[in-house]
């Protein structure tokens, strides 16, 4: 079992021993560390507020109660959203004028996992420096709780998913009437989490006929919750049997979005961002951002529309920082994460879906035809197991030097761009491995490139 402490929060498996797993004691300590950090940041403010929401994991209610009452014990008020989505919590924080937010979700991890993800007053993930400060508070174990007369209060607000949907419908590029006129039919897999209480109402508001699959927020995932093709066999069958226009799925906290075409074939998670960016850039000229491990197809589409593509280090907080730096009009990650700054700076499946449906309704194409209109790239994702005596940084430096005649980027590991392919090597923060991601114009080329690079690393 596992407990992973990082600058973005704490993630682990439920049960077991403290500091080795995500136990009640670890949840309390981490919430107390976050509360201590907030109080140090806002020393003049006696009315601190934190928005808390969770996905539908079985452990969610337990972890939420532990976190909420820890904050109350520190004199911090809590806006309790209950079952919610990551992007909904992110939008609620600034709307409540709160000083922070906590999302209780382990994203695409299986049911035994949960996590505390921490937000600042803008509803955005903490940066590295802030995260390190909170980790120091966790290790210090030096917390001060408030007296009886100054306990925080809990305010329940379950209306924020409706608020979120209203904001999506009011988005200037979401063509509500055009989507209604298209009379689309969708099969939606909500993986028995909060996608089931957020996506169907949005689709209903857009006039889309929806066949619901696994939309009860029980937290009992009917399949591995990561939205990959191998986990979505039932969705594929249902799209075909219902003669739907497309299939849609999200991960448990609704910040990753994936599509299937009318034949039950995956649209490709990398192409979620590519297609949405294509639509946004057709309406508004500008720049785009994704991380170094995302498809080159976004660069192609951006340049087609006269914009400039920029790459960031891996991690949502890095994508957001780069988007702000270059004033990007759309960005995200190749795992199906759409970040539209018109709504907020966070990955958001609701706005991503509405923009994709706007594109589909406008182009009047089948989903398979739309996918065929984009450059075809294929990825391979491999890893190299590490031992303690291996000098990873030395390996990456040698690879960068070996390919110095190519376009090499070193802001996050080493990425080597070739004429028609690329490879990205980076050290994992959570496992003793080097991740080896490649992309090329055929699956065989991508796989062959990955094996070539792995062989070269082994021979160093």
Could you report the per-residue pLDDT of 300-312, keeping only the tens digit for each?
999 999 999 999 9
The pLDDT-based confidence of 430 (bands split at 50, 70, 90) is low
Q: Under CATH, domain 378-459 is a member of which superfamily?
A: Alpha-D-phosphohexomutase, C-terminal domain (3.30.310.50)
The pLDDT-based confidence of 290 (bands split at 50, 70, 90) is very high
Give the sheet arrangement for strand 309-312, strand by strand: 309-312, 287-291, 328-333, 337-339
Q: What is the CATH number of domain 163-372?
A: 3.40.120.10
- Spatial CA neighbour of 227 closest among 202, 246, 193, 252: 252
How is the chain split into domains, by residue range? 3-158, 163-372, 378-459
pLDDT beyond 90 at 386 = no
Query: Do 163-372 and 378-459 have matching folds?
Result: no
**Tell me, what's the pLDDT at 445?**
97
pLDDT beyond 70 at 263 = yes
Contact 263, 246 (CB under 8 A): no
Lowest mean pLDDT among 209-218, 408-417, 430-439: 430-439
For residues 186-212, average pLDDT: 98
Write down the pTM of the prediction. Answer: 0.95
The verdict on whether 107 is a catalytic residue reads yes
Q: What is the CATH number of domain 3-158?
A: 3.40.120.10
pLDDT beyond 80 at 388 = no
pLDDT beyond 80 at 429 = no
**Tell me, what's the pLDDT at 392?**
87
The pLDDT-based confidence of 221 (bands split at 50, 70, 90) is very high
**Tell me, what's the pLDDT at 1?**
56
For residues 456-460, average pLDDT: 89
pLDDT beyond 90 at 9 = no
pLDDT beyond 90 at 208 = yes
- For residue range 102-129, what is the model confidence (pLDDT) as tens digits? 999 999 999 999 999 999 999 999 999 9
Active-site pick, 59, 84, 107, 294: 107
| Residue that has been written with the tokens 């376009």 in this structure | 407
């Amino acid at each position: 079992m596992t407990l992973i402490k990082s600058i973005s929060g704490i993630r682990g498996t439920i049960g077991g021993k403290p500091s080795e797993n995500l136990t009640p004691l670890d949840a309390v300590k981490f919430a107390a560390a976050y509360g201590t950090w907030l109080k140090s940041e806002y020393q003049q403010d006696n009315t601190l507020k934190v928005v808390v929401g969770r996905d539908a994991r079985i452990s969610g209610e337990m972890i939420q109660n532990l976190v909420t009452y820890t904050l109350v014990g520190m004199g911090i008020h809590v806006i309790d959203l209950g079952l919610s989505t990551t992007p909904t919590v992110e939008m609620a924080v600034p709307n409540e004028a709160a000083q922070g937010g906590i999302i209780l979700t382990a994203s695409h991890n299986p049911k035994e996992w949960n996590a505390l993800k921490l937000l600042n007053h803008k509803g955005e993930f903490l940066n590295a420096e802030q995260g390190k400060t909170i980790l120091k508070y966790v290790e210090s174990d030096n917390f001060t709780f408030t007296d009886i007369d100054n306990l925080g209060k809990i305010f329940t607000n379950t209306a924020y998913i409706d608020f979120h949907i209203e904001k999506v419908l009011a988005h200037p590029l979401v063509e509500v009437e055009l989507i209604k006129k298209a009379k689309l039919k969708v099969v939606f897999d909500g993986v028995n989490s909060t996608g089931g209480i957020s996506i169907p109402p949005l689709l209903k508001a857009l006039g889309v006929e929806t066949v619901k699959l696994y939309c009860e927020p029980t937290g009992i995932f009917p399949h591995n919750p990561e939205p990959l093709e191998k986990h979505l066999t039932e969705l594929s069958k249902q799209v075909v049997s219902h003669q739907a226009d497309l299939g849609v799925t999200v991960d448990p906290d609704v910040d990753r979005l994936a599509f299937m075409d009318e034949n039950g074939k995956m649209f490709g998670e990398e192409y979620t961002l590519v297609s949405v960016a294509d639509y946004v850039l057709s309406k508004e000229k500008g720049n785009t951002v994704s991380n170094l491990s995302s498809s080159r197809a976004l660069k192609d589409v951006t340049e087609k529309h006269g914009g400039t593509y920029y790459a960031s280090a891996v991690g949502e907080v890095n994508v957001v920082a780069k988007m702000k730096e270059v004033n990007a009009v759309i960005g995200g990650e190749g795992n199906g994460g759409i970040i539209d700054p018109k709504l907020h700076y966070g990955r958001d499946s609701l706005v991503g879906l509405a923009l994709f449906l706007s594109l589909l309704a406008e182009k009047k194409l089948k989903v398979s035809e739309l996918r065929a209109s984009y450059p075809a790239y294929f990825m391979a994702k491999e890893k190299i197991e590490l031992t303690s005596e291996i000098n990873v940084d030395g390996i990456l430096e040698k690879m960068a030097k070996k390919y110095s005649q190519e376009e090499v980027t070193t802001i996050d590991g080493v990425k080597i761009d070739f004429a028609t392919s690329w490879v990205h090597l980076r050290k994992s923060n959570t496992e003793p491995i080097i991740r080896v991601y490649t992309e090329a114009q055929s699956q065989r080329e991508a796989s062959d490139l990955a094996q070539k690079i792995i062989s070269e690393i082994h021979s160093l």
